[in-house]
Amino acid sequence: MSDEQKQLLQQIETFLESQDKTALKNLLLDQRSSDIAEVVEILDNENRRYIFDVLDKPTAAEVLEKIDEATRTEIFELLKTEELSSIILQMDPDDAADIISELPEEEQIELLTRIPLPESAEISKLMGYSEDSAGGIMDPIVISVLEDATVAEAINKIRAAEIDEDFYSVYVVNKNRQFLGDVRIRPPPDRRDHRGATL
- Flag the least confident range among 76-80, 86-90, 142-146: 142-146
125 and 190 together in one domain: no
116 and 169 together in one domain: no
Tell me the pTM: 0.63
Q: Is the pLDDT of residue 51 over 90?
A: yes
75 and 97 together in one domain: yes
108 and 127 together in one domain: yes
154 and 98 together in one domain: no
Domain boundary (108, 139, 170) is at 139
What's the pLDDT at 140? 52
As a whole number, the mean pLDDT across the chain is 80
Percent of the chain with pLDDT over 90: 36
Domain boundary (115, 139, 163) is at 139
Identify the CATH number of the domain in which residue 55 sits: 1.25.60.10
Residues 6 or more apart in contact with residue 26 via CB below 8 angstroms: none
What's the pLDDT at 193? 41
Upper half-sphere CA count for residue 76 (Cβ side, 13 Å): 16
| Number of structural domains found in the chain | 2
Which domain range does residue 182 map to?
141-199
Of 53 and 175, more confident: 53
Confidence of residue 186 (pLDDT cuts 50, 70, 90): low
What's the pLDDT at 133? 44
Mean pLDDT highest for which of 77-91, 107-121, 162-176?
77-91
Instruction: Give CA torsion, residues 166, 171, 175, 177, to 10 deg.
Output: -80
8 and 70 together in one domain: yes
Percent of the chain with pLDDT over 70: 79
27 and 92 together in one domain: yes
Confidence of residue 191 (pLDDT cuts 50, 70, 90): very low
Q: Is the pLDDT of residue 92 over 50?
A: yes
What's the pLDDT at 3? 81
